[in-house]
Amino acid sequence: MRFDRPTKLFVVLGGFFVCNALIAEFLGVKIFALEDTLGLAPLDWNLFGQSGSLNFTAGVLLWPVVFIMTDIINEYYGRRGVRFLSYLTVGLIIYAFGFAYLAIGLVPASWWVGIQSSRGVPDMQAAYSVIFGQGMWIIAGSVIAFLVGQLLDVIIFHRIRRLTGERYVWARATGSTLISQCIDSFVVLYIAFVLGPQKWSMDLFLAVGTVNYLYKFIVAIALTPVIYLGRYLIHAYLGDETARTLADRAAGHGHPDS
């Protein structure tokens, strides 16, 4: 079976979209210190009566790729493309965590439990459970925030596009990301840590949420040129006429609900 180039492109973009979101969910269990990683002095931020350093989940390394994929898919495959991949991704994340919990429940081989003792891991079963067995509140918060952010991104992207037409690609791509990620940053923390068993105070919730969003804000601005690079590569691969036809359909010029 042979597929045309627009179909192949959608499969490739969708594959990166889903893959990066899945990996980010599992990598997110690690918290890293940004200042120490970059060799910088601690920032020691103070917000809402709270203070701290720049600590983020390792998932932030991959979420920017998801943001870029969202904007590019939005540009050429429209609402249906992003919604389809968003629902698919949520389903696959739940599926993946379901099997992770199933794997955790398997009785470990006795020799395997202590196999890494010489490397500072006395209990592999406990380590495996902690790494792959993220709390249900964190999983729920992450999944709900992701879906809300993606669906909101679609709406904002196309509203900006209707106002600006084909001009100002940066406005609809970066603008929709900045707004949707603001919602995403606070929703995941509220569900996971305010409603969840840790019961964060509102001051702590607002402080951590603001710091996380400011990081995403800076990254979104910094990655704006990548959107233009992606458009250039897509037009080179599909040809200008085909790429413009896809973009017109995505904007609703060719289909009522693209």
Residue-wise pLDDT for 159-179, tens only, equals 888 888 777 888 888 888 888
Beta bridge partners of 198: none
Q: 0.85 exceeded by the pTM?
A: yes
Per-residue pLDDT band for 26 (boundaries 50, 70, 90) equals confident
* Class of 5-105+133-250 in CATH: mainly alpha
What per-residue confidence (pLDDT) applies to 57? 85
Mean pLDDT of the chain: 88
Whole-angstrom distance, CA of residue 95 vs CA of residue 111? 29
Give me the phi and psi of 54, to 5 degrees please: -85, 90
Q: CA angle, 90 as apex, 204 and 58 as ends, to 5°?
A: 50
The pLDDT value given to residue 28: 83
Flag whether pLDDT at 76 surpasses 50: yes
Q: Give the chain's length.
A: 258
